Amino acid sequence: MTFVGQLSVVAAENLGIASDSAGYGLLYATFGVGAMLGALSIGTVLANQSRQRMVRVGMLGYAIVLAVFALLRNPAPAFPVVAVLGFFYFAMVTSLSTALQERLDNAVRGRVMALWIMGFGGTVGLGNLIAGEIIDATSVTAVLLVNALVALALTWYADVTDDTPR
């Protein structure tokens, strides 16, 4: 999720949008709308889809759209692209979280989910510190493209099938 913490750098360096401008606020809000729709879709229009499939579809979509976003140099297409990026990312995260919770016993769900959020969300700040140093040494585009490649690899690795009896 490095791109969210580094979105102001992407906006300035790749898209020519100043981080203190209304355009940047609109770009960030557009990501948020896409993210909201992605998360809400998992519990509504995509509720009958397999969580396992949605994790992989979300991760694959995220990888592809992140690569496209990394290569953009014009702000106009960045707005719909960042909305789709937010959609795929939060559809994947919501599906992954739901798949995990469906497999947890009620007696341990709270403790496991507390660890999940610390491991998942708690490391975002550290990732951004590391990404910032790598961006300084390379470029924001390079970091986003590597992120997209990692997400693509995780698409294959994200086997969240449930073989346990209920």
Say how many C-beta atoms besides its own lie within 10 A of residue 135's C-beta: 20
How far is 50 from 102, CA to CA, in rounded Å? 12
Q: Please state, in angstroms and as integers, the Cα–Cα distance from residue 117 to each residue in 49, 69, 104, 124, following that order.
A: 24, 27, 15, 11
How is the chain split into domains, by residue range? 2-157
| pLDDT in the model for residue 159 | 67
pTM: 0.89
| pLDDT in the model for residue 128 | 84
- Cα-based angle 123, 132, 24 (whole degrees, multiple of 5): 95
Per-residue pLDDT tens digits of the chain, which is 166 residues long: 778 889 999 999 999 999 999 999 999 999 999 999 999 999 999 999 988 889 899 999 999 999 999 999 999 999 999 999 999 999 999 998 888 888 899 999 999 999 988 887 778 888 888 888 999 999 999 999 999 999 999 888 776 665 443 3
